[in-house]
Structure 1
């Protein structure tokens, strides 16, 4: 049985995931998560995911943004011992963050497909919009754990392909709305 591959993250109502915590990637609307009133319950999904997480998968840019911070963060201590994978054609071993546990560089979507066939828990993709689109286009994403924010940006990076493609159906696994307008939407990909 294949391991479940899950994309998890924050998106705007119009599907933009670009720079939710700041303007690191240069999006003029970056930082929209922090401009939404904080409600602890709205972020409970992130803690709940840990029980299902057997490994973390990042694209190069997301790895380079998250790894230096998460490797030192008490809030992300549970990630310390999880295997980590980075899908990149350019990253070298010398670019990996030391002291953050086992990290393996994957070079292709086929490598991710092979990883899904190994033993272990779910593989969770954080951020990594371009990687998410590539994995979805290859039919490898099994679930989307979304926290949808009441924000419209109009443009920016999306995890969802904007090209004309065959319809992909999803089944709602669970949802919940919070007082700050954030909606949790967990969808399984229908195969």
Structure 2
């Protein structure tokens, strides 16, 4: 059984919208509003090294696919299998990408062999995965910012889930790394 990890940049009030750019009025809040401290991002390199596959929603796929293949720092992601959960995408152009039509197909993917399945961004997908009981772990970099409005990772439905804190660290720029396993 593979481990499905949701990894997010998240504001203190739970917003995950447009951390590097996008439609949110404060888009780019991770690098515009908080000083860069290299060690705070160590987990991102570790995620890439330990991942066996990348799982994305359609919106994140459309944002990442034209950019990540041109970036040397994402070489491992570009080479590994990628899966996009979409009811409309038919011919993905990013190499080694397969379309999954449902969360049932994600569940089957988890049952197979291989390394971690990493969900980057993809807030709507992450919520759906959590609601379906498919998330095993959360990697959160919590930024010391309150954004108010925007897409949130948690909220709505019946969100009751027990989590175990398995790793944490605070950095000089106020960012806090929090890694949680979903308790079953």
> TM over 0.5, yes or no?
yes
How many pairs were matched up?
183
1:33 aligns to 2:56 (yes or no): no
Match of 1:145 in 2: 139
Cα deviation code 1:21-57 (max 9, x no counterpart): 12x2x21121101121000001111001123200000
Aligned to 1:20: 19
Task: Give 1:173's aligned residue.
Answer: 166
User: Hey, what's the Cα distance between the residues in 2 that align with 1:113 and 1:158?
Assistant: 23
- 2:178 corresponds to 1:189: no
| 1:134 corresponding residue in structure 2 | 128
The equivalent residue for 1:9 is 8
Partner of 1:123: 117
Unmatched runs of 5 consecutive residues or more in structure 2: none
Matched, 1:97 2:90: no
Give TM-score scaled by structure 2 length: 0.96
- Secondary structure at the counterpart of residue 68 of structure 1: coil
TM-score with structure 1 setting the length: 0.93
Decide whether aligned partners of structure 1 residues 39 and 166 sit closer, same or farther in structure 2, where only a CA change above 3 A counts: closer
